[in-house]
Structure 1
Amino acid sequence: MEWRDQGILLSVRRHGEAAAIIEVLTPAHGRHAGVVRGGASRKLAPILQPGAQLDLAWRARLEDHIGTFTVEPVRSRAVHVMNDRLALAGLNAVTSLLLFSLPEREAHAPLYARTETLMDLMGDSDIWPLAYLRWELALLEELGYGLDLSACAVMGARANDLSYVSPRTGRAVSRTGAGEWADRLLPLPPCLLGNGTAPDAEIAEGFALTGHFLRNRLAHELGGKPLPEARARFVERFSARAAI
């Protein structure tokens, strides 16, 4: 059993004296694990950094075996994040959420494409936080928990003042349609309705919205496991920046 693909390195852990077990996200083979012989060596360890883009060859005797990877670097993203604590926290949040939420060996090509684009933006601090927020929306959508922000759940398509989201259904609600129920709804930041830029405070409000559905829909369906701490650390760090 063997295949070749490109992928994003999600995690690496030492295996024995010199090998490593890595998990990658690929467009055609999804989240996939394998052993890299010599992965802990001086030659390969600097290459095997989370976020790295790798050319991969996987081989195993049987399909359900963990198998082995041969890896070649395509590009490293470490240079974009190592001197930027917020970007490093964001990268850790992305890889942790993917490991937390994606089933093994199940392809999610659209989400892979969004993830690769987001990773490549992490050198631009003015752009990537909003891209990350929209990536969390895409993650929810890909796994069947998407928000419907296309029209007001009460007034229909004629409403043009979408301002809230139902915490139960994930559907948008207009200010007019919310009425006396507004205090029971989640604020909908305008940045999730358009393609432009947004101030940090508005993006932080978006993280509160996506966080609600990550916790109460995605994590709940995965057995009630807590979200990765890396996501909370990133949001806390970003919120501190937004408060300045």
Structure 2
Amino acid sequence: MEWVDDAIVLGARHFGEGKLVAEVFARDHGRYGGVVHAGRKSQPILQAGNVVHAGWKARLSEQLGFFSPLELAEPHATRLLDDPIALAGLSSAVTLVRAALPERQAYPQLYDAFMVLIEAMPQNDVWPALYARFELGLLSAIGYGIDLTRCAVTGETENLAWVSPRTGRAATYDAGLPHADVLLRLPRFLIDPEAQLKSGDVADAFALAGYFLERRLFDQRGENMPEARAQLIQRLGFAGRL
């Protein structure tokens, strides 16, 4: 059993003497672990967020297996070392992928969205909004997506401004206004890529995605939301970027 694929490093841990178990998110194979010899050359490669060209091999498919080769393609983590907020964003995204995705199941569209997010992280005015979209894309990929295409009350596709926390369906501004105290705000940029970001839009997007991540994913598992996500929101808030 073997495959070769492009992958995003999710992390690594020690595994006996002179070895590591690396975890990657491969485009066409999903989240995989494998043994790597822990030489000095391998340590920088295995920084979470780096992109690698990976080969995975095992005698039987259910075995842990090992990576050979594991070659650095893009050192994204290294490029963000001087930007603690971007590093926090990368850490949060990696943590969500590790926590949410089942092992050995491919999510090529989510992989591509993750790559877009990582490549945008040097652009401070761009990536927080992309991050929020990535979270909603992750929910959709694992079957917990919300419907932002039309109003659940009127069927209209314009002027959508709210999301029901109960159904995950959108509502127009007028239809939802009488219930605004219990509805979640829907920032325009989440449904219109050309929409201009307004103050508070990123915060609303984080609140929207976070609500459904918590209720539909982590609560169902009896788990808490990853602390890395809370730390990211805190850092963005202190920097005035929400």
TM-score scaled to structure 2, two decimals? 0.94
Structure 1: give runs of 5+ residues left out of the alignment: none
State the 1:179 CA deviation.
4.3
Structure 1 match to 2:102: 103
AA at the equivalent of 1:122: M
Counterpart residue number, 1:231: 229
Cα distance in 1 between the residues matched to 2:167 and 2:12? 37
8 Å CA contact retained: 1:201, 1:242: no
Superposed counterparts of 1:1-244, under 5 Å: 1-37=1-37, 39=38, 41-70=39-68, 71-157=70-156, 160-196=158-194, 197-199=196-198, 201-221=200-220, 223-242=221-240
In 2: Cα distance, 1:92 partner to 1:52 partner: 12
The whole-number CA distance in structure 1 between the counterparts of 2:216 and 2:200 is: 24
Unaligned runs of 5+ in 2: none
**Offset at residue 90 of structure 1 (A):** 0.3
Classify 1:199/1:80 alpha carbon distance in 2 versus 1 (closer, same or farther; 3 Å).
Answer: farther
* AA in 1 matched with 2:49: G
Q: 1:207 to 1:60 in 2, by over 3 A?
A: same
CA distance in structure 1 between the partners assigned to 2:4 and 2:101 by the alignment: 20
**Cα distance in structure 2, aligned partners of 1:82 and 1:202:** 27
Tell me if structure 2 keeps the 8 A contact 1:204–1:238: no
CA distance in 2, matches of 1:53, 1:28: 14
What is the rounded CA distance, in whole Å, between the counterparts of 1:47 and 1:27 in structure 2?
A: 18
Separation in structure 1 between the aligned mates of residue 27 and residue 99 of structure 2, nearest angstrom: 18
Letter of the structure 1 residue corresponding to residue 34 of structure 2: G
Distance in 2 (alpha carbons) for counterparts of 1:85 and 1:112:
23
Per the alignment, in what secondary structure is the counterpart of residue 242 of structure 1? Answer: coil
Distance 2:86 2:74 in 1: 17
Contact 1:200 1:241 in 2 (8 A): no
SS of the residue corresponding to residue 150 of structure 2 reads: coil
2: CA distance between counterparts of 1:32 and 1:229? 23
| Deviation at residue 147 of structure 1 after TM alignment | 1.5
Output the CA distance in 2 between the equivalents of 1:184 and 1:129: 25
Deviations 1:162-195 (A, max 9, x none): 2211001111111221243221111112221211
Seen in structure 2, the aligned counterparts of structure 1 residues 173 and 45 have a Cα distance that, compared at 3 Å, is same
Give the deviation of 1:150 after TM superposition. 1.2
Give aligned-pair identity as a percent. Answer: 41
Rounded to whole Å, the distance in 2 between the matches of 1:42 and 1:207 is 38
